[in-house]
Amino acid sequence: MRPAILDPLFSPISGLPGVGPKIAELLIKLLGRETAEDCRVIDLLFHAPFSLIDRRNQPGIARAPQGAIVTITARVDRHQVPQRGKSNVPYRVFLHDETGELTLVFFRGQAAWLEKQLPVDAEVTVSGKVDWFNGRASMVHPDYIVRADEAENLPLVEPIYPLTAGLSPKTLRKIIDAALPRFPELPEWIDPALAQKQGLPSIRDSFHMLHEPRDPADIDPQAPARRRLAYDEFLAGQLSLSLVRQRLRKVAGQPVQATGKVSAKILKSLPFSLTSSQNVAIAEVLKDMAGAERMLRLLQGDVGSGKTLVALMAMAAVIESGGQAVLMAPTEILARQHHATISKFAASAGLGIEVLTGRTKGREREEILERIASGAAQIVIGTHALFQDSVAYAKLMLAVVDEQHRFGVHQRLRLTAKGISPHMLVMTATPIPRTLVLAAFGDMDVSKLTEKPAGRKPIQTITVPMERTGEIVGRLQGALAEGKKAYWICPLVEESEQLDLMSAEERHATLVATLGPDIGLIHGRMSGPEKDAAMMAFKNGETRLLVATTVVEVGVDVPDATIMVIEHAERFGLAQLHQLRGRVGRGDEASTCILLYKGPLGETGHARLSIMRETEDGFRIAEEDLKLRGEGELLGTRQSGTPGFRIASLEAHADLLEIARKDAAYLIERDPELTGDRGTAIRTLLYLFRRDEAIRFLRAG
Ligand code: ADP
Ligand code: MG
């Protein structure tokens, strides 16, 4: 049970003054919650300002710098009301102080309101941006107008928050101001020595300082309040991971006794031999699974490094031991593709292999569910649908999760909450730096595939300005005539108002007009079967040019495709470019990647494209990416900051992560059930950061 002391923070935001249904709707969106019920006061308090407006500069009218935000106290001289019907002429109000004159400008100004706010002869304080034109100072729509004797009510330093359309800064500010006093005094969980050494304020003070910055330094990630919250967030994360892990360890492992019968058949039928990296990874996995504890292993391997086979070998071992294995992919296309390749590789072993996705319906679904329940299905490949309540396994011993960066700890927890405790192999194509692995997965064991399968030719990468697209199309025509296959990647599905990008559909149409009709198209708006059909046609060679949006990004495997054109390459992140490029260079023919960019390139854009030209090393690219844009994109989330974290950032707070990790280990060792005084405070922390799933594991014992 959540401690009652936290109740004020966990009441729905709709209970705050000024939050009607409409505002609640906007806040849910802003705070990324799913329902009004689940959008709590604490979520609002975690919404941190990213900047501030400093209104402390009060230079007097004559000395107000052009374009600067200033606060000015002056006397109202007169109003200039626009003539009737001239709605494009603004309403003007003239003021003066001892240094000079200022014109306030209001478009569509309401005379009655303005006369009340700015009565002639009154002394007022206004704050806003000053513009100088022809030696005259003006201020368009001041941010604040108050009577001079009420000037102390004016927020001289004002935090700026991320907003959403329809929600004004003032409205948000008022609601946050109403929420802040609800923050209770909480028992302290931080080690006093650490708090003192790091100069960390109490959690309650930290929230106040977060929302009431006095100075630009208070907005900095290194401000004491932000460091405190970051530490707490890391600590909560690390504790919850440790608790989950502790719990997983308690669940009796299902030791896998590999006999080699199934895997030998598969290996014999392969047209190639495994790389030594693959062999090492397989050995590590088999060793883990043979032990008494559950395996929790991350398999990192660059695109094309052959992770699927490692997974298949692990599954083979499980089948030899009489169990079942599932492989979960992030998308329908990938699930179906895995099904196709694994069926092909495993054909010689005569295994029961099924595919189950959200698209599997009706009778077919019923039959598959039956085979899963009876154990006839030895390998089940699919999407999230694999872990719906209706799916009951006969003897699930291994869950392989592909392209982990799309999943989180939460999915893992959901699985375990279902009472299933298979060994876990998590595969990711995104080389994740160690700090990120730590934050996202805790102390997971890691296997790395560092070599590429033999015979791979390097991919030649060139950058070409968009103006030369015609030339590229000409070269493509030649290559297609020679029987080559190519991808053409476009950034958007449809013409968007904001981004002036050529859509995949439009690009498809222009390419068809020049190169002929046998050109495929695949994008996110297509239905599942439509996507499959487009993919199959490309694989079979019915189409040899495939125009695609980034739906082909992860995992798609067409080994004889050797050309990759990426349009508006400057719009993509490094990790994404690397993933996309990894679609070619998978066979034994030399491949080319053409990055079409629209100039002029910014500094970051330039750096990204140069790195792409320089290296194919995914780990190096991941590091450079981290430097260039922060870790958010790396794990596949678009938010800024570290995915899954509200305040903490790995870039800014890596030192705190390390401390939190050690502290969490120490705490769990001392008080594994969190029942001592500090343990109780720690429970409060876990609830505060919504890590209470972990507490459920405590209770389940
Ligand atoms: P990823 O690690 O990106 O998931 P895949 O498992 O899809 O890579 O493998 C990429 C391609 O390499 C596939 O076509 C696969 O059949 C092939 N492959 C895997 N292992 C080897 C190997 N040892 N030698 C040659 N080709 C291999
Ligand atoms: Mg893959």
Judged by its nearest atom, the ligand closest to the C-alpha of residue 449 is 1
Please write the tens of the pLDDT for every residue from 475-498. 999 999 999 999 999 886 544 544
DSSP label at residue 595: E
- May I ask the CATH class of domain 56-154? mainly beta
In angstroms, rounded to a whole number, what is the distance separating the alpha carbons of residues 94 and 118? 10
Q: Report the share of the chain in percent with pLDDT over 70.
A: 88
Judged by its nearest atom, the ligand closest to the C-alpha of residue 277 is 1
Angle formed at CA 611 by CA 607 and CA 615, multiple of 5 degrees = 175
Residue 415 Cα to ligand 2 middle (Å): 22
In angstroms, rounded to a whole number, what is the distance separating the alpha carbons of residues 357 and 24? 35
Cα distances (Å, whole numbers) of residue 582 to 258, 552, 617: 33, 10, 11
Contacts 24+ apart (CB under 8 A), 137-142: 137/61, 137/62, 137/64, 137/100, 137/101, 137/102, 137/103, 138/102, 138/103, 138/104, 138/105, 139/72, 139/102, 139/103, 139/104, 139/105, 140/104, 140/105, 140/106, 140/107, 141/105, 141/106, 141/107, 142/104
How does the average pLDDT of the chain come out, rounded?
86
Which residues, in sequence order, are CB contacts of 510 under 8 Å at separation 6+? Answer: none
Q: Which mutation among 272, 276, 578 tests ligand 1's pocket best, with the greatest number of atoms within 8 A of CB?
A: 272
Residue 559 Cα to ligand 2 middle (Å): 13
Identify the helix (H) or strand (E) that includes residue 442: none
In angstroms, rounded to a whole number, what is the distance separating the alpha carbons of residues 417 and 644? 20
In angstroms, rounded to a whole number, what is the distance separating the alpha carbons of residues 649 and 636? 15
Q: Is the pLDDT of residue 56 over 50?
A: yes
- Evaluate whether 55 touches 152 at the Cβ level (below 8 Å): no
pLDDT of residue 198: 94
Judged by its nearest atom, the ligand closest to the C-alpha of residue 333 is 2
Residue 26 identity (one-letter amino acid): L
Atom of ligand 1 nearest to the CA of 308: 6
Cα distances (Å, whole numbers) of residue 503 to 442, 529, 649: 40, 21, 34
Residue 602 Cα to ligand 1 middle (Å): 36
Q: Is the dihedral of CA 191, 193, 198, 203 positive or negative?
A: positive
- SS3 at position 360: coil
pLDDT range class, residue 440, cuts 50, 70, 90: low
Going by C-alpha positions, the residue among 115, 152, 110, 146 that lies closest to residue 128 is: 146
Going by C-alpha positions, the residue among 178, 170, 155 that lies closest to residue 41 is: 178
Quickly count: other Cβ atoms within 10 Å of residue 547's Cβ: 28
Residue 604 Cα to ligand 2 middle (Å): 29
Domain 459-615 has CATH 3.40.225.10: no
Structure tokens at 497: 């108002």
**Are both 253-449 and 459-615 of the same fold?**
yes
Burial 553-583 (b: 16+ CB within 10 A, else e): bbbbbbeebbbbbbbbbbbbbbbbbbbbbbb
Which residues, in sequence order, are CB contacts of 74 under 8 Å at separation 6+? Answer: 61, 95, 96, 97, 102, 123, 124, 126
Residue 274: exposure state from Cβ atoms within 10 A (0-12, 13-18, ≥19): middle
Going by C-alpha positions, the residue among 379, 165, 400 that lies closest to residue 289 is: 400
pLDDT of residue 258: 94
In angstroms, rounded to a whole number, what is the distance separating the alpha carbons of residues 506 and 205? 55
Residue 293 identity (one-letter amino acid): E
Residue 591 Cα to ligand 1 middle (Å): 16
Give me the architecture of the 253-449 domain, per CATH: 3-Layer(aba) Sandwich (3.40)
In angstroms, rounded to a whole number, what is the distance separating the alpha carbons of residues 424 and 429? 16
Q: Is the pLDDT of residue 248 over 70?
A: no
Please state which of the ranges 74-83, 181-190, 281-290, 485-494 shows the lowest mean pLDDT. Answer: 485-494
- Evaluate whether 167 touches 57 at the Cβ level (below 8 Å): no
Residue closest via CA to ligand 1's atom 24 equals: 453
pTM value is 0.62
pLDDT range class, residue 636, cuts 50, 70, 90: very low
Query: Which comes out higher in pLDDT, residue 357 or 495?
Result: 357
pLDDT of residue 186: 95
Judged by its nearest atom, the ligand closest to the C-alpha of residue 454 is 1
Token pair 């296309």 is at which residue?
Answer: 333
Atom of ligand 1 nearest to the CA of 341: 16
Structure tokens at 82: 């626009």
Cα(first)–Cα(last) distance of the chain, in Å?
A: 15
Q: Is the pLDDT of residue 409 over 60?
A: no
Q: Is the pLDDT of residue 254 over 60?
A: yes
In angstroms, rounded to a whole number, what is the distance separating the alpha carbons of residues 684 and 675? 12
Strand ranges of the sheet holding 445-449, from the earlier edge strand across to the other edge:
353-356, 379-382, 324-328, 396-401, 423-428, 296-301, 445-449
Token pair 């939460």 is at which residue?
Answer: 410
Count of residues in the chain: 701
Please state which of the ranges 127-131, 161-165, 454-458, 634-638 shows the lowest mean pLDDT. Answer: 634-638
Q: Is the pLDDT of residue 640 over 70?
A: no
Judged by its nearest atom, the ligand closest to the C-alpha of residue 341 is 1
Q: What residue spans define the domains of the chain?
A: 4-53+160-220, 56-154, 253-449, 459-615
Q: At what angle do helices 21-31 and 169-179 cross, to 10 degrees?
A: 90
Going by C-alpha positions, the residue among 631, 288, 206, 276 that lies closest to residue 430 is: 631
Residue 208 identity (one-letter amino acid): H
Pairing of strands 459-465, 519-522: unpaired
pLDDT of residue 253: 72
Q: Which mutation among 300, 308, 553, 578 tests ligand 1's pocket best, with the greatest number of atoms within 8 A of CB?
A: 308
Residue closest via CA to ligand 1's atom 20 equals: 306
Going by C-alpha positions, the residue among 396, 391, 406 that lies closest to residue 375 is: 396
pLDDT of residue 434: 65
Q: Is the pLDDT of residue 620 over 90?
A: no
Q: What share of the chain is helix, strand, coil (3-state, %, to 5)?
A: 45, 20, 35
Residue 268 Cα to ligand 2 middle (Å): 22
Residue closest via CA to ligand 1's atom 5 equals: 306
Residues with CB under 6 A from ligand 1: 272, 274-275, 278, 301, 303-309, 429, 453-454, 555, 557, 559, 586
| Overall average pLDDT of the 636-659 stretch | 69
Residue 586 Cα to ligand 1 middle (Å): 8
In angstroms, rounded to a whole number, what is the distance separating the alpha carbons of residues 128 and 145? 9
Q: Which mutation among 309, 381, 428, 581 tests ligand 1's pocket best, with the greatest number of atoms within 8 A of CB?
A: 309
Residue 391 Cα to ligand 2 middle (Å): 25
Atom of ligand 1 nearest to the CA of 449: 2
Residue 307 Cα to ligand 2 middle (Å): 6
Residue 473 Cα to ligand 1 middle (Å): 30
Please write the tens of the pLDDT for every residue from 195-205. 999 999 999 99
Cα dihedral 146, 149, 150, 154, rounded to 10, equals 70
Q: Which residues pair with 366 in a beta bridge?
A: none
Judged by its nearest atom, the ligand closest to the C-alpha of residue 587 is 1
| Overall average pLDDT of the 24-51 stretch | 89
Q: Is the pLDDT of residue 550 over 80?
A: no
Residue closest via CA to ligand 1's atom 25 equals: 453
